[in-house]
Structure 1
Amino acid sequence: MKVVILGAGAIGGCLGGWLSEVYDEIYLLDQGEVAKNLKEKGLTLYKQGEEKNKKHFPVKVIDSLSDVDGIDIIAIAVKNYSLEAVAKSIREQIKGEPIIIGLQNGAINQTILPKYFKKVVFSVIEFNAWVDEPCVIGYQNKGPFVLGTLGSGLENELKAVSDFMCKAVETITTDRIRDAAYCKMVINLTNSYTTLVGFKYREISSMPLFKKVLSNSMYEGVKIIKAAGIKEFKVGNMPSWGKIKASATLPDFITNGIFKKNLDKMVLSSMAQDIIQRKAGTSELDSLIGHFVELAKKYKVKAPYNEAVYELCKTEFAKSAFTPMTEEQVWEAVQKKL
């Protein structure tokens, strides 16, 4: 199969490298500095804790979709804020109906991509990856990718993508892709808060407050999606809803050990890469925590922690020079919502 991966950031880069190791006709498409580095240096991937064993992947790089005839699969690995424009551009450039794989955080791709394409397979990314510099990417685990479609009728396409990917990386299929996406979004709620306080960029000034806000943000997320009819979907090391509730409601002396253990596993989030590392000013704030705040209002679920963090992020991320807040400053804003 001829596969084009559009976007060679953390997830697109990982997928591109792993597939290129197994298949010949894998093509990467990006722009600017990323495209330049892909052509000159290829991809470099490494697993967390194994930095000395970085692996180099020479990859095929294209400048346009028209460079490849008869594309079978296009994996779209751009972020939510670029997705609509990218999907429209792809639709204008291609003929026929290749299989489209949506590789975004959240569920907004489930609304956008079907407007432009008939054969869409959605993927929930159940592993963390980050960009050290263009085309140098770290990851915690090699997968899994959870694949699914909306409704029936694309069983053959889903199987084709799964069979293709699983030879290179752990791949799981499900008929509950909406549940999977929203359950992963609960974990992604932490991205906003950890970016707001500059986690990994400054010392945490109050671990009790850091834990309190982070744990309650996720617990609110669980209550919000339960009210929306979402059922729990757990894969791998993802914390269960029960553990999320326990972290937010049980005394600290019971949960501190587990929390600190999980904290050690946390890496620089994709949002922090946008706001702090790249100083881009754009992020997935609205499509992640913003969407949950909207759902909370719709289903009448109290969400003071997420509301406060969302409002602070909207204000602080919009500033020309973002400066992380302290845990005490965020807690002061949360208290006004309680």
Structure 2
Amino acid sequence: MEDGSVFAGRLIGAEKIAVGEVVFTTSVVGYPQTLTDPSYKGQIITFTMPLIGNYGVSEDQLESDGIKAEGVVLFEATFPSHYKSVMSLEEWLASSGVPGVARVDTRALVQMLREHGVMMGAIGPEDPAVLMEALRKSPHYEDVVYVDMVSVKEPVLLGEGRLCIGVVDCGVKRSIVREFLKRGVRVKLVPCRRPELAFDCDALFISNGPGNPKLLDFLSAKVSEYVEYKKPLMGICLGHQVIAMALGAGIYKLKFGHRASNKPVRDIRFTGRTYITTHNHGYAVDPRGTDLKVWAVQPDDGTVEGLYHERLPILTTQWHPEASPGPQDTRWVFDKFLKLVERHGH
């Protein structure tokens, strides 16, 4: 770890060094979805669940074309027992060129991250001094534009339907695209550097993704242009933050973020209910001084979880209503947005 702390364990996966921001997730299931979520690019994931790998890996669980996390830290990598499994977690990591370390005291590591905040770290088979040198030579997580590494390079057209949703791909999860497709709309997936290629759609959606949102001025500026058209606009996670920035909101980094599939969100406007939801974010929004209104909050720490605009068809969530993994209780957010599109988008 960048503070000099050393955690020893058993190397699993690829025999190489990986450097990244060390974060933790408290999800008890869904490790394939977590590892393939492009939002984890640049990060080393620590699983608090002590047994990881017991149902193996199968294609239907993946959120992208492969593992996007830089590395994995866990307590015990278990042997799989599931009829869909095609390989073990260790085999998957090795074939993907991703290192991991097992038999780590993950409780001590997570307690340290909660007390001091997330920090950079390095894992690998080398002596700690070699790992520290690799860490010293690597850029800090907050200084890298990771969205360029996980976005499509050219537009991709998916599905059929009367309505078209333009998805700005900052590292979109497959399950988000599936939620739109199963509702009978066309999806136009466009590179995060060229959102204007989707301005001709009935609505624009800014996806989740990795990295520091403050580095995405090029995207928030384009979103500001789109807002002038007064067409429907939605964002999830990083997309929520980019839309907020485009409308003048502030962004700040959380001490250790929210990463889990069991986080509460309280809807203070539409339903009045509290939902259990899936989270994966290290930054949060401060909308004070803007025309954005808060419709959902995280009751544990009061962070903003959802925004809307009283005069414009804008809707955002900081959490992941598509879940995968996690509860499906808030998938109605997609239906709510499509009603906005029906009213304003064409």
Q: Please classify the TM superposition score into its range, dividing by the shorter chain length.
A: 0.3 to 0.5
Name the TM-score, length of structure 1 as normaliser.
Answer: 0.33
Greater helix content: 1
Greater strand content: 2
